[in-house]
Structure formats: structure tokens, C-alpha cells
Structure 1
Amino acid sequence: MTVPRANGAELDTSSDAFGELRASDDLLRRPELVLNRLQDDGYVYLPGFWERDDLTPIRAEVARILLAGGYVAPEHPLSMVSVKPVDIETKRKISGGNAVVREFLREGKTRAFLDEVWGTPARALDFIGMRIISPGIGTYPHADIVYFSRGTPRLLTGWTPIGDVPTDLGGLILLEGSHRNERLQRTYLTRDVDSYCLNRRNAEKYANNEMRWNGAISTDFVRLRNALGGRWLTADYRQGDLVLFVMNMIHGSLDNQTDRIRLSADPRYQPADEPADHRYIGDAPILNTVAAKVGRIC
């Protein structure tokens, strides 16, 4: 087994530092228990939530775009063997303009399942992120609340592998128990990536997005776990799996130690009748641009 790495460092894989996500596929038939599991664990991992073949058209559409741009080897595009790193504009095009992804993840089975979980109609935010991760370093540890704090606190992130994602391909990892950390509740989890201090140096640069905080709590996965406790949790994900987790759950991704591109999507869901974060709503959401900036006295 390849030793898992995060931001270039090998992770401690001893039993008190690293483990597997708790599978909650039993809750597919008991949606009324999902909220309790989310409160306890901070996440629910639902292996085989979709039929495997249901996601193949999404993977095929992304592979077509990547092949046209010369990013993947032509012999078998669905394998997504990397030829060169995918540039940011192509990533934005795929993430913002993929109607197949939006229709499947925003209007399909997940929303119907969450209707039952909440006992009220659910909705997805209009923006659905696509992760096209080339070989190399993964995503720094963070909590989604620092990006999505201007709507209902009942927002959930969904993470869906579009293709099998074994550990060495750089899948999602969650820090066990981090959603209950009281120190984080008073510090890091109160922040907003689009908020800046009017009365501090470089305020104008932050207002114009010339300078910005990327939302990460750390770049060192090992030191962060040592400080907060718990284990880094992951799985050998299969196409069709779904992970749902709360906004204050610390998570990131392992490094991609293969020669292939990792493809996943991360929609967000909430009760439809509760306030939605305006940054991610509409046909052309403003996201984390200058239009989202809010100045305050610190």
C-alpha cells in the first residue's frame, strides 16, 4: 500500500492517527437518523449511493473536454492519465458550465434523499464545484463554513468521486471530531474569506482581492492533527459513493501520487426555505470575487 501523503508529508498511519470513514449505507433506508449521525460524527459516508453507471456520462463529458485540451492521454480518455496539469481556466469552464453535472447533482437523488432527512424540501446551491486534481499536492485542510457563512447553518457539503478514488489518487480526508472542537468554534470557524479589516494595513488590497486569505487552517496536516486530536479519516472511494458533512468539519485531500487525474464534485445542499449564501446563487454566481467583499472594523 502506498503511504498516504498530504501536502508532501507522509501521514502517521497508526491506529490512533489514521482510519477509515464509518460507512452509513444503512441510513439510506433510515433517513430520519441522518441528522443524529451528522451531529455525532460530523459526516455520513454512503457507499454506493448512486448506481455506478449513473455517473459515467459526467466522467465521459469531462474526459472529452480534457482530451480536446491535450490534458489526458488519448488511448483511453476515461482513465484520465495526465499529460500536463490542467490550467485554471479549463477547470473554471468545467466547473461553471457543466450542465450534466448540475442537472444530476442538483436535481436528482441527493435532493430527494435530503427532503426526507430534513422533513422539508431541499435545494442545492446553484454553484457546484468540480475538482480536477492533477498528480501532486492535494487541498489544504479547511472547513467550508469560512466560505459559506452567509446563509443557513444547516448547509451540508456533498463530496462525490466521479471515478474510483483509492487512497493514492488523493481522495477526501476528514479530521475526526473536529466539528466539535470548542477552540475552533471561537476562532477559525468565525472567519469569512471575503471579509477584511477596514482599519488594518493593506485593507484596500484585500478589498480588491490583490491580497486574500485562502481559507486554509494550516498547511501541515501532521501538526494540525497533533494539535486538535482525532484521526484523519478516509476511504478507498468508488464511483457512486457520497459523503455528506457539516460546514465546520475540518477536511482536505490527500496528495495524488498516481499518473492520473482525480475527478470529483462537491455540491452543497440546504433546506429550500432557509437563507442561501448569495455568493453561490444564480446563473452567474459572484463566488469569492471583489463583489463578495465586506469590510468591517476589527
Structure 2
Amino acid sequence: MPATRFPDSTGVLTASGLTSNGYRLAEDPGRLGRLEPVPEADRADARKLRRRLAHSGCLYLPGLLDPDLVLDFRRHYFAALASAGLIVPGTDPVSGTAADKPSIDQSALRRILFQEVVPGPEYEALCRTPALVQLFAKLFETDRLHLHRRKIIRHVGPGESGIGTATQAHYDLVYLREGTDHVLSAWIPLGDVPLARGPLIYLEGSHGKVRAQEAAGTLKRPAASMTADLPALADDHDARWLVTGFRAGDVMIHTAHVIHASLDNRHPDGGFRLSTDIRYQPADLPVDPRWQRHWHDRDGL
């Protein structure tokens, strides 16, 4: 059987494949597959959405958000951090063209990011946009929702590789042990994220296996950041990594047990991958108190 191919418009991936933290993903059909979108006809049917989420552990929803809304926040983000030297001077902030690392004022970047952008009204408005709120209300069957205050934004520069650059394999419940497990995450690409720019990817069927292993007390790997070696993890689970490229306005929803990770940003245009992950739950269920403060990369979580 021929290997699965995922051509990218840049041509980067056809020659060297998909990598995460420098590990190249296996391309055979038993280890790599396409992340399939929720059919348009099923989006208005809350029962079908919940059934699909329970079966797959995630929902791929292209075009859920207004692309202009997403790109406006992307422009706001990079414009705010331009004074710290994050992007090339004189370039359009929405392009997120990465400056050389030595030119970045890390102290200014951290101050602006954690004191201005993360707690800012623009970010809060994006995370509470009606399309998102309505979707979570369908999935949880309640209008009484709680958005966790700890909301994470990540910018990942091009050409970075090796352990610790891309998101390692993990599942979210590991970080949310002091509240309910009835929590759903939204991963939102803030701009186009083709395969070469390093999107999030999902290990097919992993939520069922993780639940079973947790219940039996047989989970072999450490709870957090299971591994950077995604090919080995796929072999361990005898499962496929599901991948796709994303456009501004697309949204991923996933459960607290599904294993996910990200690819390396190897896009030749020099742009940052920008994304956010946020979490909603029913307001009436126990809330992890550690997640009720604004995100900081030194908050210990």
C-alpha cells in the first residue's frame, strides 16, 4: 500500500515529511491519516456533535469563527509585541514575520505579553465570541458555562526544532486534576496554519485507551508531556496521527483525555505560528482553582 502523502503548498513537506521536535512521523497509512471535518449538515445537531465527540475525542470545525475577527486579534498581538522586537520592523503585524532571536528584548516581551495582552479585553472578547459560546452550550447541554481564566497563547518561530520546541504528546486532564473531568478545550489557530507551520495533531482513538488505562492504573508513561517521540507513541498505541492544515476561523474542540501534540514550524516564509487554547466547562461542576488566574509561563502548571 502506498504511503499517505500530505502535500503542502510550500513544497517543504513533500521532500522531508512531517516532523515534531525533530522526530519524523511515519508516513504509512497505519500511522498517519487525515483529520476529517465535521460535516456541515451535522453542525446544527447537538446530539450528532456530542456523539461524534464521544467517538473521536475531537471535533474539527473549519470556518466556525469569522476569519476577520481572528486576523484582527493576530494583528493586535504582533503589533503589541513589535516594540519588544518580536517581528521584523516595518512588516505588517498580521504577517507575524519573525525577527532574529538576538534582537528580541525578552524582558519587554514578557511584560507586554503577561501584563497587557493576556489579561487584555481583546483576548477576552475573542475567547467569548458568540460562535464559541453557542457551540459549548450545545456540547454541554447548558447555557451556564465557565471559561477558565488561564488561557494560553503560543507563538512558535520558524526553523526551531529539537526537544522542547513543538508541543509534546499529552492529554489535558493531567493539568486539571482539581476540578471536573467534564472539561473541553478549544484550540484556535490565530491565522492560517498549514502543515508546514506546525499545527496541532491528534492520536486517533487515544482518549478511549487513556481512560481505560487510567481506570486500571496501568498508564505506563508519566502523566505530563508523555513523550516528544511521536512515532514511537503511535507504535505503542498502534494508531495514526491525524493531521490537517488550518485556516483562520477554524477551531478544534477536544476532550480532556485525547492525546495531542504539534508539528514543527518549518514554513519558509518566516512567519510565526500563533494559536490559543482555552477551556470551558459547565459552571455548576467543580472548577480547578489553579486555572482561575491569568496564564503565565512560570505559573507552575
Displacement after TM superposition at 1:187 (Å): 4.4
* CA separation of 1:25 and 1:53: change in aligned 2, threshold 3 A: farther
Corresponding residue for residue 53 of structure 2? 38
Corresponding residue for residue 239 of structure 2? 230
> Which of 143, 151, 176 is the aligned partner of 1:128?
151
Corresponding residue for residue 162 of structure 1? 190
Displacement after TM superposition at 1:158 (Å): 0.4
1:81-132 deviation digits (Å, cap 9, x = unpaired): 1113474725545663232121221353211222122221222111211111
In 1, Cα distance between equivalents of 2:80 and 2:200: 24
In 2, Cα distance between equivalents of 1:141 and 1:52: 28
Tell me, yes or no, if the aligned pair for 1:161 and 1:237 is still in contact at 8 Å. yes
Instruction: Look up the equivalent residue of 2:188 and give its one-letter code.
Output: T
> Which of 11, 23, 27 is the aligned partner of 1:9?
23
Say which is worse superposed, 232-241 or 95-104, in terms of deviation: 95-104
How many residue pairs match? The answer is 268
> Which of 210, 213, 223 is the aligned partner of 1:183?
213
Corresponding residue for residue 291 of structure 2? 280
Percent of aligned pairs with the same residue?
Answer: 27
* CA separation of 1:171 and 1:35: change in aligned 2, threshold 3 A: same
1:132-155 deviation digits (Å, cap 9, x = unpaired): 111213111111111112111110
In 1, Cα distance between equivalents of 2:26 and 2:221: 29
Instruction: Look up the equivalent residue of 1:77 and give its one-letter code.
Output: P
TM-score (norm 2): 0.81
Corresponding residue for residue 211 of structure 1? none
Residue 280 (structure 2) pairs with residue 269 (structure 1)? yes
* CA separation of 1:65 and 1:91: change in aligned 2, threshold 3 A: same
In 2, Cα distance between equivalents of 1:230 and 1:139: 19
Corresponding residue for residue 228 of structure 2? 219
In structure 1, the gaps of 5 or more residues are 193-214, 293-298
Displacement after TM superposition at 1:190 (Å): 10
TM-score (norm 1): 0.82
Instruction: Look up the equivalent residue of 1:54 and give its one-letter code.
Output: L
Say which is worse superposed, 17-26 or 160-169, in terms of deviation: 17-26
Say which is worse superposed, 68-77 or 241-250, in terms of deviation: 68-77
Residue 266 of structure 1 aligns to a residue in which SS? Answer: strand
Displacement after TM superposition at 1:178 (Å): 0.6
In 2, Cα distance between equivalents of 1:95 and 1:240: 20
Residue 43 of structure 2 aligns to a residue in which SS? Answer: helix
CA RMSD of aligned residues (A): 2.4
Tell me, yes or no, if the aligned pair for 2:80 and 2:117 is still in contact at 8 Å. no
In 1, Cα distance between equivalents of 2:202 and 2:214: 15
1:255-283 deviation digits (Å, cap 9, x = unpaired): 1112211001101011121111111115x
* CA separation of 1:245 and 1:221: change in aligned 2, threshold 3 A: same
